[in-house]
């Protein structure tokens, strides 16, 4: 990827990173993209806590009512259900990040409820509980109904607070592309903001714009803000081009008007960037990576260990001997195919597979094609059903791979593809996986044209930038579905 730097504008970044702006309390950059991060109708901690408590109360209330109606309280073997269902709900809400943000709240609620239902049924089956079907159905229906009621109450209360208590008026200094984008984003993402107009020295003669009126010159902005009880002023004018901006900012704060600088980072890098902070120093990154967070990596690793252990103990323990015998009967050679492949940070690791080809000298250089003459009779079936990949659960358990991630390529192909696609090596920031976002979207198997490789890399990077446990689980289920249904690109 090419990045275009404009030398004539480098001084502007100085104001926002290590120059005047950093040394003044007026430097109030939002710490992440999107106004919802610093505009909220309810404090996040209060929101999380209140919703969590209401859900747990609703869950246990439904159980208590059903136990009383169906007269189940006398049987002590039924009591563990309270603990089981509470653990199942807490786990489901944690996996779906239900209480970690208000974005997509209703969708996350549905996802958490479906996962909770599946886990509860699984636990009831595993522990062979003697609950009647009416009890189980009424439990799920009752809890689902209470979730609908509580969500309606929370959304209604939030809407009431937004529309009646937290309306905020703002003006923008500067009439330019950045100010237009700012106003558009604020309006689309938060209804509590009322745009009053622009102030600009070069366009003050123009009284109207597409989004709001131009109210006058920049020097008139403070008087207007005080007179009209403006809550916030956003400045898209760099202080280097108009030194009066700092004076306006200082006087605005004295009059209890918040002043916010909006730097235009697009003049340095021609793509969307991620803004974070190290103490009070802003840091620009080319992308957001959820797995940079230690907690996210720990959560993914725990899932990988648990999932791979389950598969190794309950599937591979009996499946490996069967497939090993079939491979030996089908053709000469070892049961397992071992090959060095590119891992995290491009560190090679020994990747395991069931051997699906005849022993040959091109295994480390030539990719498998659709009608490859090297296939064994059994190997074609193993590859079609993805059974040849199962030994890689040992790689997952060892820590070289993850259940979900970009597929690992042989070392020679890594070198070749890196020369073709500039972004290719970015996919190695995370561990490779048995399956991935590219695979479940049809980009797997033989690479015959550059477009196939480009799309595969785009999806690998998209996964890396948007990782979540829910996305991993979704990809796993899609992989199972495709393995049963059959994937035309699996060969």
Distance in angstroms between the alpha carbons of the first and the last residue of the chain = 32
- Whether residue 357 contacts residue 372, with contact meaning beta carbons closer than 8 Å, is answered with yes
**Whether residue 39 has pLDDT greater than 60:** no
More confident residue, 163 or 318: 318
Reported confidence tier of residue 17, pLDDT bands at 50, 70, 90: very low
Reported confidence tier of residue 490, pLDDT bands at 50, 70, 90: low
Q: Which of 57-61, 136-140, 278-282 has the lowest mean pLDDT?
A: 278-282
Indicate the DSSP class of residue 303: H
Question: Which pLDDT score, from 0 to 100, does residue 182 have?
Answer: 86
Question: Which pLDDT score, from 0 to 100, does residue 163 have?
Answer: 56
Q: DSSP 3-state assignment of 98?
A: coil
Question: Which pLDDT score, from 0 to 100, does residue 306 have?
Answer: 93
DSSP state letters, 387-441: GGGTTHHHHHHHTS-EEESPPP-BHHHHHHHHHH-TTGGGGGGS--EEE-HHHHT
Q: Which of 15-19, 270-274, 392-396 has the lowest mean pLDDT?
A: 15-19
Question: Which pLDDT score, from 0 to 100, does residue 190 have?
Answer: 61
Query: Distance from CA of residue 88 to its chain's centroid?
Result: 23
The per-residue pLDDT of the chain, averaged, comes to 79
Task: Read off the pLDDT of residues 328-364 as tens digits, 9 standing for 90 and up.
Answer: 998 888 999 999 999 999 999 999 999 988 888 777 6
Q: How far apart are CA 477 and CA 279, in angstroms?
A: 41
Reported confidence tier of residue 12, pLDDT bands at 50, 70, 90: very low
CA atoms in the 13 A half-sphere facing the CB of 112: 27
**Whether residue 23 has pLDDT greater than 90:** no
Q: What percent of the chain has pLDDT over 90?
A: 22
Indicate the DSSP class of residue 76: G
Q: What percent of the chain has pLDDT over 70?
A: 78
Reported confidence tier of residue 22, pLDDT bands at 50, 70, 90: very low
Q: Which of 156-170, 357-371, 432-446 has the lowest mean pLDDT?
A: 156-170
Task: Read off the pLDDT of residues 113-138 as tens digits, 9 standing for 90 and up.
Answer: 898 888 888 877 776 666 667 777 88
Cα–Cα distances in angstroms (integers) from residue 321 to residues 330, 391, 392, 443, in the given order: 14, 12, 16, 31
Question: Which pLDDT score, from 0 to 100, does residue 206 have?
Answer: 59
pTM beyond 0.75: the answer is: no
Angle between helices 133-164 and 44-69 (to 10 degrees): 150
The mean pLDDT value for 281-288 works out to 77
**Whether residue 392 has pLDDT greater than 90:** yes
Q: What share of the chain is helix, strand, coil (3-state, %, to 5)?
A: 55, 10, 35
Q: How far apart are CA 263 and CA 35, in angstroms?
A: 14
Task: Read off the pLDDT of residues 450-489 as tens digits, 9 standing for 90 and up.
Answer: 888 889 999 999 999 999 998 999 999 888 888 887 766 6
According to CATH, where is 3.40.50.720 located in the chain?
A: 7-37+167-286
Q: Label residue 331 left, alpha or beta by phi (over 0 means left) and psi (-120 to 50 means alpha).
A: beta
Q: How far apart are CA 61 and CA 292, in angstroms?
A: 40
Task: Read off the pLDDT of residues 239-251 as tens digits, 9 standing for 90 and up.
Answer: 888 888 888 988 8
The mean pLDDT value for 50-79 works out to 77
Task: Read off the pLDDT of residues 302-334 as tens digits, 9 standing for 90 and up.
Answer: 999 999 999 999 999 999 999 999 999 988 889
Q: Which of 23-27, 163-167, 409-413 has the lowest mean pLDDT?
A: 23-27
Reported confidence tier of residue 2, pLDDT bands at 50, 70, 90: very low
Q: Cα dihedral sign for 412, 418, 424, 425?
A: positive
Q: Which residues contact 267 (CB under 8 A, 6 or more apart)?
A: 6, 9, 12
- Whether residue 344 contacts residue 429, with contact meaning beta carbons closer than 8 Å, is answered with yes
Among 180, 176, 395, 405, residue whose Cα is nearest residue 305: 395
The mean pLDDT value for 173-198 works out to 81
Which tokens is 22 given? 């950093």
DSSP state letters, 176-240: SHHHHHHHHHHHHH-TTEEEEEEE-SSSTT--B-SSSBEEE-GGGHHHHHHHTT--EEEE-S-TT
Class assignment of domain 7-37+167-286? alpha beta
Long-range contacts of 113-120 (CB under 8 A, 24+ apart): 113/143, 113/144, 113/147, 116/85, 116/88, 116/89, 116/92, 119/88, 119/91, 119/92, 120/84, 120/85, 120/88
**What phi and psi values does residue 173 have, to the nearest 5 degrees?**
-90, 120
Q: DSSP 3-state assignment of 26?
A: coil
Angle between helices 377-384 and 317-330 (to 10 degrees): 140
The mean pLDDT value for 99-118 works out to 81
Cα–Cα distances in angstroms (integers) from residue 442 to residues 181, 392, 404, 449, 467, in the given order: 36, 21, 15, 14, 19
Task: Read off the pLDDT of residues 402-431 as tens digits, 9 standing for 90 and up.
Answer: 999 999 998 888 888 888 888 889 899 999
- Whether residue 85 contacts residue 67, with contact meaning beta carbons closer than 8 Å, is answered with no
- How would you class 475 by CB atoms within 10 Å of its CB: exposed for 0-12, middle for 13-18, buried for 19 or more? buried
CA atoms in the 13 A half-sphere facing the CB of 226: 11
Q: How far apart are CA 214 and CA 192, in angstroms?
A: 21
- Whether residue 211 contacts residue 175, with contact meaning beta carbons closer than 8 Å, is answered with no
Among 392, 391, 388, 389, residue whose Cα is nearest residue 375: 388
Question: Which pLDDT score, from 0 to 100, does residue 330 have?
Answer: 87
**Whether residue 33 has pLDDT greater than 60:** no
Question: Which pLDDT score, from 0 to 100, does residue 166 have?
Answer: 54
Q: Which of 208-212, 296-300, 439-443 has the lowest mean pLDDT?
A: 208-212
Question: Which pLDDT score, from 0 to 100, does residue 340 have?
Answer: 93
């Amino acid at each position: 990827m090419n990045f275009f730097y404009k030398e004539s504008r480098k001084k502007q970044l100085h104001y926002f990173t290590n120059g005047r702006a950093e040394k003044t309390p007026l430097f109030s950059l939002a710490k992440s993209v999107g106004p919802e991060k610093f505009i909220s109708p309810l404090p996040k901690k209060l929101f999380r806590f209140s919703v969590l408590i209401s859900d747990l109360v609703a869950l246990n209330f439904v159980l208590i009512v059903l136990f009383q109606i169906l007269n189940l309280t006398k049987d002590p073997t039924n009591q563990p259900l309270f603990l089981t269902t509470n653990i199942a709900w807490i786990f489901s809400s944690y996996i779906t990040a239900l209480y970690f943000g208000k974005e997509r709240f209703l969708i996350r609620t549905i996802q958490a409820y479906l996962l909770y239902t599946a886990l509860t049924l699984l636990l009831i089956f595993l522990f062979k509980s003697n609950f009647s079907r009416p009890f189980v159905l009424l439990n799920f229906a009752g809890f689902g109904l209470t979730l609908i009621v509580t969500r309606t109450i929370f959304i209604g209360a939030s809407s009431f607070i937004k529309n009646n208590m937290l309306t905020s008026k703002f003006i923008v200094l500067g009439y330019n592309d950045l100010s237009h984008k700012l106003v558009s984003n604020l309006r689309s993402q938060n209804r509590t903001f009322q745009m009053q107009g622009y102030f600009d020295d070069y366009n003050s003669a123009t009284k109207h714009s597409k989004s709001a009126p131009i109210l006058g010159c920049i020097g008139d902005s403070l008087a207007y803000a005080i007179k009209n009880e403006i809550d916030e002023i956003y400045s898209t004018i760099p202080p280097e081009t108009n030194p009066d901006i700092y004076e306006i900012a200082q006087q605005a704060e004295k009059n209890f008007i918040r002043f916010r600088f909006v730097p235009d980072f697009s003049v340095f890098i021609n793509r969307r960037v991620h803004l974070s902070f190290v103490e009070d120093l802003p840091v620009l990154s080319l992308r957001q990576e959820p797995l940079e967070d230690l907690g996210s990596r720990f959560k993914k690793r725990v899932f990988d260990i648990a999932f791979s252990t389950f598969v190794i103990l309950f599937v591979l323990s009996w499946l490996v001997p069967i497939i090993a015998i079939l491979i030996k009967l089908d053709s000469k050679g070892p049961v397992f195919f071992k090959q060095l492949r590119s891992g995290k940070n491009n560190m090679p690791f020994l990747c395991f597979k069931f051997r699906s080809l005849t022993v040959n000298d091109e295994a480390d250089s030539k990719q498998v094609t659709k009608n490859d003459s090297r296939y064994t009779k059994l190997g074609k079936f193993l590859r079609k059903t993805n059974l040849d990949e199962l030994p890689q659960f040992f790689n997952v358990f060892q820590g070289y791979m993850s259940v979900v991630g970009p597929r690992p390529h042989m070392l020679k192909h890594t070198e070749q593809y890196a020369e073709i696609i500039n972004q290719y090596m970015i996919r190695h920031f995370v561990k490779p996986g048995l399956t991935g976002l590219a695979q479940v979207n049809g980009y797997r198997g033989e690479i015959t044209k550059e477009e196939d490789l480009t799309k595969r890399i785009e999806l690998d990077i998209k996964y890396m930038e948007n990782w979540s446990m829910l996305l991993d689980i979704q990809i796993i289920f899609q992989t199972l579905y495709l393995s049963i249904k059959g994937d035309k690109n699996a060969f």
